[in-house]
Amino acid sequence: MEIRALGGQGLKVGAEGLGLMGMSAHYGATDETESLATIDRALELGVTLLDTAEGYGPFLNEQLLGKALAGRREAAVIATKTGVEFTDEGAFRGHNATPEYIRRSADRSLRHLGTDHIDLYYLHRIDPNVPVEESVGALAELVAAGKVRHIGLCEAAPATIARAHAVHPLAAVQTEYSLFERGIEHDGVLDTL
């Protein structure tokens, strides 16, 4: 598998990643045995970036990934997300990218993943009620504390990306880009990146 750098701070991943959302949520019935086998096979093939979020399940997807990586944490680059609030019982609360919630959700994700650090921690959605500088500041504090290695944004506009990157270097921006969705070619996101 070809290895590629994400951002300029040393994060390296296989050229292909595996999104785990459908293994726990949103696409119908799930099968833990098949999901674990899929993760195993991806790792065998050199896929290192495994993408999850606390909201997938909620929490079930992170717990699945933690189970899959038990005893071999170093085999993968874990990407997970914060900024969409859930109670500890899994009740959806809406957008919340306050520093307090980001810190609380990071600790919960670390427990669910069974690890002491998150390789790439994304702000899942931009919270219109919290300046992105405050949210990214909290993510930067997690980097300084060693709980997170790199940070990123999901579904962000060019000006938001620039403002966030001015606070702390972003390793990645996750957004839909496919044969069917080419909007970032025209809205300035690619040029900003």
Catalytic residues: 56
Q: What distance lies between CA 10 and its chain's CA centroid?
A: 17
Nearest to 157 by CA among 129, 178, 128: 128
| CA distance linking residue 63 with residue 90, whole number of Å | 13
| CA distance linking residue 126 with residue 130, whole number of Å | 8
Using the Cα atoms of residue 9, residue 10, residue 16 and residue 20 in order, give the sign of their dihedral: negative
The residue with tokens 């949520």 is 25
Tokens of 84: 């969409």
